[in-house]
Amino acid sequence: MTRYTRMRSAVAAAATVTILAGALAGCSDSAAPQGTPAAGGGGNGKIALVLKPLDNTYFGAMAEGAQAAADEAGVDLTIVAAENVTDDSGQATKLNSLVTAGYGCYIVNPTSQTNLITGLVPVTQAGAAIVNLDLPIDLDAAKQAGVNVTTYVGTNNETAGEAGGKAMLSLVPEGSSVALIGGLVADPGNIARLGGFEKAVEGKLDITQTVAADFDKAKAKSAAATILIANPDIKGFFTPSGDMAMGIQQAVEEAGKKGQVAVVGIDGTQDQLKDIVAGGQPAAIEQFPYLMGAQSVQACVAAMKGTSIPSNVETPVLIVDSKNAQAALDAFPAPPQGFDVPNPFK
**Across 91-118, average pLDDT:** 95
In this prediction, residue 44 has a pLDDT band, given cuts at 50, 70 and 90, of low
State the DSSP code for 70: H
So what's the pLDDT on residue 86?
Answer: 84
Among candidate residues 38, 103, 127, 73, the one with its CA nearest the CA of residue 306 = 38
Q: What is the pLDDT of residues 224-246, one digit of tens each?
A: 999 999 999 999 999 999 999 99
| 182 vs 339, more confident | 182
So what's the pLDDT on residue 142?
Answer: 97
Is a pLDDT exceeding 50 seen at residue 300?
A: yes
Side-chain half-sphere CA neighbours of 205 within 13 A? 29
pTM of the model: 0.82
Cβ 178 vs Cβ 207: under 8 Å: yes
So what's the pLDDT on residue 235?
Answer: 98
Q: What's the mean per-residue pLDDT of the chain?
A: 88
Q: Say which amino acid occupies 79.
A: I
So what's the pLDDT on residue 286?
Answer: 97
Cβ 133 vs Cβ 292: under 8 Å: yes
Cβ 12 vs Cβ 86: under 8 Å: no
Q: Chain-centre distance of CA 318, in angstroms?
A: 13
In this prediction, residue 35 has a pLDDT band, given cuts at 50, 70 and 90, of very low
So what's the pLDDT on residue 72?
Answer: 95
Among candidate residues 18, 30, 272, 256, the one with its CA nearest the CA of residue 157 = 30
| 56 vs 135, more confident | 135
DSSP assignment of 204-256 equals: TSEEEEEEE-TT-HHHHHHHHHHHHHH-TT--EEEES-HHHHHHHHHHHHHTT
| 259 vs 21, more confident | 259
Q: Tell me: cis bond preceding 333? Omega within 30 of 0 counts.
A: yes
Measured between alpha carbons, how far is residue 281 from residues 261, 262, 289, 312 in Å? 9, 7, 21, 32
Domains and CATH numbers, the chain: 3-154+289-304 (3.40.50.2300), 157-287 (3.40.50.2300)
Cβ 155 vs Cβ 315: under 8 Å: yes
Q: How far apart are CA 344 and CA 29, in angstroms?
A: 19
| 35 vs 63, more confident | 63
